[in-house]
């Protein structure tokens, strides 16, 4: 049975999904795609092979190139998030402005995903990713994909070159464990955003390379990279950039569109810092301010808004800035991490430890 948030949250989330769907219609983003229905076809090709799973007919209509016979997940784990394929449109040709220009739209404490490649730094505001979830970009000659799943608070950046082929990613409109399921437009393989792993199609079992990036306040990005560039808001008056359509989500009692188990002794929507299959609660890190384990160093400082608290991101409560690094040759080097929710981490790492 699907676990829903309280009635006021459910209404807010339904309205948010409806707003996104209206944006889809107005901007002609695949609005005519039919919704998946209960009719199904075999996941196996018509070659005499025994069917292993049943594929909703709507999936076949939306994803004509996807090899559904090649899957590592159960299809009944996948739920519709509301919008159809590309109903939440990725940004494929992002534009950028200087820090001074970006200051007109961003408060100092608003969260951005900071990416540095070969000395070139760019910031991707969650105010934009909240409404698009995927940005396909290239920095210093490196093709990459910047992603944000609001329902998991997972902000992850991947290299998008796989086996010498540059992939472009979009949203399937589907969720698994309340996490964004992406697809690549070249093969229409499905990918789990939280893991960066192919789960259906030609690239099933393939792992994308994650980049060590930071989710930090706009002010901290400016301090570290005064010449850095900031993603410009697209000209789209029907998307309320800077607003949080999931108001109150990160203090609700239960996640949205999630039917899995919950971790013990911690609230499902408590923030945790996940590193290599291990996690520390943000409350613990906030109390300690610095945690060390072997070569790993995790620090916390105040000054960053939650993107999923208040209706306006700049008004969100302070959840602080997390930096995760490893000692290498006497220096601290940024490591891959994710500030996500306890239920999300538990869903994908059910046997892992959450330190509290």
Question: In this predicted model, what pLDDT tens digit does every residue of 235-274 receive, in sequence order?
Answer: 876 789 999 999 999 999 999 999 999 999 999 999 999 9
Q: Name the phi and psi angles at 222, rounded to 5.
A: -60, -40
Residue 3 has pLDDT above 80, yes or no: no
pLDDT computed for residue 283 by the predictor: 98
pLDDT computed for residue 4 by the predictor: 37
Q: Is residue 309 part of a domain?
A: yes
Q: Are 179 and 148 in contact (CB under 8 A)?
A: no
How do residues 150-206 score in pLDDT, each as one tens digit? 999 999 999 999 999 999 999 999 999 999 999 999 999 999 999 999 999 999 999
Range with the poorest average pLDDT among 31-35, 164-168, 338-342: 31-35
The verdict on pTM exceeding 0.75 is yes
Domain count, the chain: 1
Q: Cα separation of 248 and 246, whole Å?
A: 6
Q: Is residue 299 part of a domain?
A: yes
Q: Is residue 195 part of a domain?
A: no
Q: Cα separation of 119 and 142, whole Å?
A: 12
Distances (CA, A) of 1 to 4, 252, 258: 9, 18, 9
The closest of 74, 217, 194 to 133, measured between CA atoms, is: 194
Q: Is residue 315 part of a domain?
A: yes
The closest of 266, 335, 268 to 299, measured between CA atoms, is: 335
- CA 48 to the chain's CA centroid: 39
Q: Cα separation of 250 and 166, whole Å?
A: 35
DSSP string, 180-193: EEEEETTT--EEET
Q: Buried b / exposed e across 173-193, counting CB within 10 Å, b at 16+?
A: bbbbbbbbbbbbeebbbbbbb
Q: Is residue 320 part of a domain?
A: yes
Structure tokens at 272: 């945790």
Cβ-proximal residues to 271 (8 Å cutoff; 6+ apart), any chain: 153, 250, 281, 282, 283, 319, 339, 340, 341, 342
pLDDT computed for residue 15 by the predictor: 45
Q: Is residue 40 part of a domain?
A: no
How do residues 273-326 score in pLDDT, each as one tens digit? 999 999 999 999 999 999 999 999 999 999 999 999 999 999 999 999 999 999
How do residues 59-114 score in pLDDT, each as one tens digit? 999 999 999 999 999 999 999 999 999 999 999 999 999 999 999 999 999 999 99
Domain with 310 in it: 249-355
pLDDT computed for residue 46 by the predictor: 37
Residue 47 has pLDDT above 80, yes or no: no
Residue 48: count of CB within 10 angstroms of its CB: 6
Q: Is residue 183 part of a domain?
A: no
Q: Is residue 282 part of a domain?
A: yes
Q: Are 244 and 136 in contact (CB under 8 A)?
A: no
């Amino acid at each position: 049975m699907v676990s829903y948030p309280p009635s006021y949250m459910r209404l807010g989330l339904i309205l948010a999904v409806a707003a996104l769907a209206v944006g889809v219609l107005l901007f002609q983003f695949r609005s005519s795609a039919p919704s998946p229905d209960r009719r199904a076809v075999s996941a196996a090709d018509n070659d005499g092979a025994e069917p292993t799973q049943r594929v909703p007919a709507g999936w076949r209509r939306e994803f004509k190139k996807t090899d559904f016979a090649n899957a590592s997940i159960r299809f009944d784990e996948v739920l519709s998030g509301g919008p159809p394929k590309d109903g939440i449109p990725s940004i494929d040709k992002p534009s950028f402005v200087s820090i001074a220009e970006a200051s007109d739209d961003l408060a100092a404490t608003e969260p951005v995903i900071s990416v540095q490649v070969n000395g070139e730094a760019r910031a991707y505001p969650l105010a934009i990713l909240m409404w698009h979830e995927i940005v396909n970009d290239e920095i210093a000659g490196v093709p990459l994909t910047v992603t944000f799943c609001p329902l998991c608070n997972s902000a992850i950046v991947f290299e998008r070159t796989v086996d010498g082929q540059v992939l472009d990613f979009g949203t399937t409109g589907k969720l698994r464990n309340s996490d964004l399921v992406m697809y690549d437009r070249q093969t229409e393989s499905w990918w789990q955003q939280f893991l960066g792993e192919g789960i259906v199609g030609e690239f099933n079992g393939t792992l994308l390379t994650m980049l060590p990036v930071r989710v930090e306040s706009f002010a901290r990005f400016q301090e570290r990279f005064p010449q850095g560039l900031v993603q410009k808001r697209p000209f789209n008056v029907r998307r309320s950039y800077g607003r949080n359509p999931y108001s109150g989500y990160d203090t609700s009692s239960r996640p949205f569109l999630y039917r899995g188990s919950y971790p013990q002794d911690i609230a499902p929507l408590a923030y945790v810092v996940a590193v290599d299959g291990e996690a520390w609660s943000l409350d613990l890190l906030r109390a300690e301010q610095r945690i060390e384990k072997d070569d790993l160093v995790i620090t916390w400082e105040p000054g960053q808004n939650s993107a999923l608290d208040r209706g306006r991101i700049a008004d969100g409560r302070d959840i602080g800035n997390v930096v995760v690094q490893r000692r290498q040759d006497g220096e601290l080097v940024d490591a891959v991490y994710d500030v996500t929710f306890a239920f999300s981490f538990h869903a994908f790492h059910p046997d892992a430890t959450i330190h509290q």
